[in-house]
């Protein structure tokens, strides 16, 4: 497989990381892989079903991505992360996998996947895939074999099958809830036609949780990783990385009848962030390090405590973990300061780069969220139920937030359409909603479709604004073509140009991977990376002057690098004279 042609920006080790290394272990010299591309990369998330439709059937696909690699390279990102593209009944956006070594028919085939990886590399882009180890689809051959086998069989031991409670076993084994609503258990019918055991599904009932104490399960996933590493994949995003290990006694969590949300804030949680999960990732790291260049991981880990999060990225485990508290924070200086500072400290101690993400396929788009009175991410909620949106305000803040994120040291993630400033689509008709959250919550939650709408590429409405099909799998809002790549490229004041400029500057400046707070107040954050580069973000109502000895490189409110004071919700990047 050819190596990426583009030179990744040289990463440097955070001073604290180099000095301390893994917590409690003597410091060691960084190896070649420690200074790898993944420490400073900007990674673009492709939600394949909605990125670009190469054959006009309404679904994005591999051909669509292959046709847009030049766009991604020109945008200036270092890597792409592609959400699951495997064979799947698609009850949860492909996170319900039937066959991890096959591509869904609507996306292409393994040969096309190999070609995509190869061509991405030729464009200087690394490719991160998405592995789903917590559960398989109930259409997976293993689950079908479990259904056809009796209680206590090795086939059932790959999943969590339990007897129900009560005299006839009609009550679920415990009170755990599915993230999508309702009980996390479903009862099966045994071969003799009688109601039998229950299996665990922490997500949709068609996503059965695997039993990670099974060595067969452990071996199978190493083999799946190897399959794609051998085909040139540069790494994996690990779905539900905190959830693989369950408490062997399956204790109740203490839900109330009307709870819609999964209880998370529970000490010694029986199915989240259990200590035993780390042994799995040490094995995965050994495998990734067998490759040249070494392959990399990013954990999808919704962990609030930065110290607990850091445990996933200590040496000999995963390379990086998503830092969701950053995305969950409101648009508020003190809140963001607290998250950024805690992240930098805990990641430096663990020897890992921090990561930053504002948007993905599971959360409301920032243009919408930041336009509300309460700008914090709301767990499980989205759309009109959260109140009115001032989209102009949301857009101004989303622009400043992007500049803040891209100014921070470490790794940054962009979600497709973020560069276009797409808002959440809040008016998808009920009958078109696909997210299982909608039915599982009995229509009380609309779910995540609003951030998964097919991308607009052209300034005319034809073919779904250039997506490639007139009637895509999710409907686009009217006028979507005005937010298309073509329209945004023509407008010098667009989010698209802000992102491309910021990415170019980020690469050219190649600022040291350390951050020093220059000043902060209840309304302004100001930090430096090295003596020259400074970022200011004004969250307050008062304007903030630009220092007289600084050159303005980029500002979020205009495409002109003026020296005007920074108004509310505005960010600027400055080059300061060397002291």
Q: Shortest approach of ligand NOJ to residue 239 CB, angstroms? A: 5
Q: Does 76 bind ligand NOJ (CB under 6 A)?
A: no
Nearer to Ca ion among residue 61 and residue 130 (C-beta): 61
Q: Does 28 bind Ca ion (CB under 5 A)?
A: no
Position 61 contacts Ca ion (CB under 5 A): yes
Q: How many residues bind ligand NOJ (CB under 6 A)?
A: 10
| Options 90-98, 162-170, 218-226, 521-529: segment touching ligand NOJ (CB under 6 A) | 90-98
Residues 198, 445, 106, 64, Cα dihedral to 10°: -140
Instruction: Pick the piece of the chain touching ligand NOJ (CB under 6 A) from 91-99, 101-109, 452-460, 511-519.
Output: 91-99
CA distance 50 to 30: 40
Determine if the peptide bond prior to 293 is cis (ω within 30°). yes
Residues 117-136 that bind ligand NOJ (CB under 6 A): 132
In the complex with ligand NOJ, the residue whose CB is nearer, 203 or 438, is 203
Residue whose C-alpha is closest to residue 556's, from 417, 403, 366: 403
The answer to whether residues 424 and 382 touch, using CB atoms and an 8 Å cutoff, is yes
Q: Which one of residues 239, 273, 314, 424 is an interface residue with ligand NOJ (CB under 6 A)?
A: 239
Question: From the list ligand NOJ, Ca ion, none, which binds 95 (C-beta under 5 to 8 Å, kind-based)?
Answer: ligand NOJ
Measured from the CB atom, the residue of 332 and 441 that comes closer to ligand NOJ is: 441
Residue 33 DSSP class: G
Q: Name the DSSP class of 378.
A: P
User: Annotated active-site positions, please?
Assistant: 239, 300
The answer to the question of residue 203 lying near ligand NOJ (CB under 6 A) is: yes
Residue closer to ligand NOJ (CB basis): 23 or 274: 274
Span near ligand NOJ by CB under 6 A; candidates 63-71, 87-95, 148-156, 546-554:
87-95
Q: Give 439's DSSP letter.
A: H
* 69-75: Cβ within 8 A, 24+ apart: 69/119, 69/120, 69/123, 69/125, 70/123, 71/485, 72/44, 72/123, 72/125, 73/6, 73/123, 73/124, 73/125, 74/500, 75/44, 75/419, 75/499, 75/500, 75/503
Q: Round to whole Å and give the CA distance between 229 and 100.
A: 13
Among 22, 53, 197, 362, binds Ca ion (CB under 5 A): 53
Beta carbon nearer to ligand NOJ, 411 or 515: 411
**Listed ranges 46-54, 88-96, 518-526, 571-579: which one lies at the site for ligand NOJ (CB under 6 A):** 88-96
Q: Lay out the site mask for ligand NOJ across 344-363 (x = CB under 6 A, - = otherwise).
A: -----------------xx-
Q: Render 150-193 in DSSP notation, one character per residue.
A: -TT-TTGGGB-EEPPBSTTS-B-SS--B-TTSSBSEEEEE-TTS
197 near ligand NOJ (CB under 6 A): no
Which long-range contacts does 63-70 make (Cβ < 8 Å, 24+ apart)?
Answer: 63/108, 63/112, 64/468, 65/116, 66/112, 66/115, 66/116, 66/119, 69/119, 69/120, 69/123, 69/125, 70/123
Question: Rounded distance, CA 91 to CA 207, Å?
Answer: 9
Question: Which residue has its beta carbon closest to Ca ion?
Answer: 61
Residue 22 makes contact with ligand NOJ by CB under 6 A: no
Contact with ligand NOJ (CB under 6 A) among 46, 240, 485, 495: 240
- Which single residue is written with the structure tokens 């939600």? 47
Q: In this structure, what DSSP letter does residue 476 have? A: P
The whole-angstrom separation of Cα 193 and Cα 169 is 15
Q: CA nearest 301: which of 234, 218, 357?
A: 357
Q: Which does 573 bind (CB under 5 to 8 A by kind): Ca ion, ligand NOJ, none?
A: none
Rounded to a whole number of angstroms, the minimum distance from the CB of residue 65 to Ca ion is 11
Check binding of 383 to ligand NOJ (CB under 6 A).
no
Site track for ligand NOJ across 282-321, x = CB under 6 A: ------------------x---------------------
**Least distance CB 351 / ligand NOJ (angstroms):** 26
Select the binding partner of residue 239 from Ca ion, ligand NOJ, none (C-beta < 5 to 8 A, by kind).
Answer: ligand NOJ
Q: Does residue 95 interact with ligand NOJ by CB under 6 A?
A: yes
By beta-carbon proximity to ligand NOJ, the closer residue of 90 and 346 is: 90
Instruction: Let me know: does 520 contact 333? Beta carbons within 8 Å.
Output: yes
Nearer to ligand NOJ, 280 or 498 (CB): 280
- Binding of residue 93 to ligand NOJ (CB under 6 A): yes
Q: What distances in angstroms separate CA 327 from CA 339, 412, 478, one per listed residue? A: 10, 12, 28
Question: Does residue 79 belong to the site contacting ligand NOJ (CB under 6 A)?
Answer: no
Of the pair 40, 360, the CB lying nearest ligand NOJ is at 360
Q: How far apart are CA 88 and CA 59, in angstroms?
A: 14
Residue 61 interacts, among Ca ion, ligand NOJ, none and using kind-specific CB cut-offs from 5 to 8 Å, with: Ca ion
Tell me how far the alpha carbon of residue 119 is from its chain's centroid. Answer: 23
C-alpha distances in Å from residue 404, one per residue of 56, 237, 287, 323, 511? 38, 24, 35, 15, 14
Q: Cβ of residue 299: shortest distance to ligand NOJ, in angstroms? A: 11
- Residues binding Ca ion (CB under 5 A): 53, 55, 57, 59, 61
- Residues binding ligand NOJ (CB under 6 A): 92-93, 95, 132, 203, 239-240, 300, 361-362
């Amino acid at each position: 497989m050819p190596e990426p042609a583009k030179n990744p920006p040289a990463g440097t080790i955070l001073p604290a990381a180099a000095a301390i290394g893994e917590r409690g272990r003597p410091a060691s010299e960084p190896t070649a892989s420690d200074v790898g591309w993944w420490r400073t990369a900007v990674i673009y998330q492709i939600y394949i079903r909605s990125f670009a439709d190469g054959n006009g059937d309404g679904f994005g696909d591999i051909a669509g991505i292959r046709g847009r690699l030049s766009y991604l390279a020109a945008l200036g990102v270092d890597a792409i992360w592609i959400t699951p593209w495997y064979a799947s009944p698609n009850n949860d956006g492909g996170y319900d996998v039937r066959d991890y070594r096959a591509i869904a028919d609507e996306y292409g085939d393994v040969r096309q996947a190999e070609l995509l990886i190869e061509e991405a590399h030729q464009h200087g882009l690394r490719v991160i895939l998405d592995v789903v180890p917590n559960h398989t689809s109930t259409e997976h051959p293993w689950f079908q074999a479990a259904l056809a086998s009796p209680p206590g069989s090795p086939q059932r031991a790959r999943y969590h099958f339990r007897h129900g409670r009560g005299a006839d076993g009609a009550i679920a084994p415990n009170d755990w809830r599915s993230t999508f609503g309702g009980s996390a258990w479903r009862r099966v019918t045994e071969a003799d036609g009688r109601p039998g055991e229950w299996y665990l599904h922490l997500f949709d009932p068609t996503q059965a949780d695997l039993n990670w104490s099974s060595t067969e399960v452990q071996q199978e996933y190493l083999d799946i990783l190897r399959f794609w590493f051998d085909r040139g994949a540069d790494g994996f995003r690990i779905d539900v990385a905190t959830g693989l290990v369950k408490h062997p006694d399956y204790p109740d969590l203490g839900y109330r009848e009307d709870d819609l949300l999964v209880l998370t804030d529970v000490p010694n949680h029986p199915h989240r962030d259990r200590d035993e999960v780390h042994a799995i990732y040490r094995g995965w790291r050994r495998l990734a390090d067998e490759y040249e260049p070494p392959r990399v991981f990013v954990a999808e880990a919704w962990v609030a405590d930065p110290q607990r999060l850091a445990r996933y990225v200590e040496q000999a485990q995963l390379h990086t973990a998503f830092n969701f508290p950053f995305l969950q924070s409101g648009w508020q200086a003190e809140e963001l300061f607290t998250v950024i500072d805690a992240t930098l400290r805990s990641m430096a101690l663990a020897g890992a780069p921090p990561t930053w993400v504002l948007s993905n396929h599971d959360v409301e788009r920032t243009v919408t969220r930041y336009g509300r009175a309460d700008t914090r991410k709301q767990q499980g909620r989205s759309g009109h139920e959260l109140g009115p949106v001032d989209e102009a305000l949301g857009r101004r803040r989303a622009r400043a937030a992007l500049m803040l994120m891209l100014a921070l040291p470490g790794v940054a993630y962009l979600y497709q359409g973020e560069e276009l400033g797409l808002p959440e689509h809040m008016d998808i008709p009920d009958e078109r909603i696909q997210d299982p959250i909608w039915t599982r919550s009995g229509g009380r939650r609309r779910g995540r479709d609003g951030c998964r709408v097919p991308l607009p590429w052209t300034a005319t409405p034809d073919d779904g604004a250039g997506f490639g099909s007139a009637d895509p799998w999710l409907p686009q809002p009217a006028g979507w073509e005005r937010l298309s790549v073509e329209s945004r490229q023509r407008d010098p004041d667009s989010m698209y140009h802000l992102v491309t400029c910021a990415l170019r500057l980020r690469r050219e400046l190649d600022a040291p991977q350390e951050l020093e707070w220059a000043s902060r107040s209840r309304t302004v954050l100001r930090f430096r990376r090295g003596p020259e580069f400074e970022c200011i973000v004004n969250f307050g109502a008062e304007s903030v002057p630009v220092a007289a000895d600084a050159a303005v490189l980029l500002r979020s409110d205009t495409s002109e690098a003026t020296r005007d004071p920074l108004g509310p919700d505005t960010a600027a990047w400055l080059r300061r004279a060397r002291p």
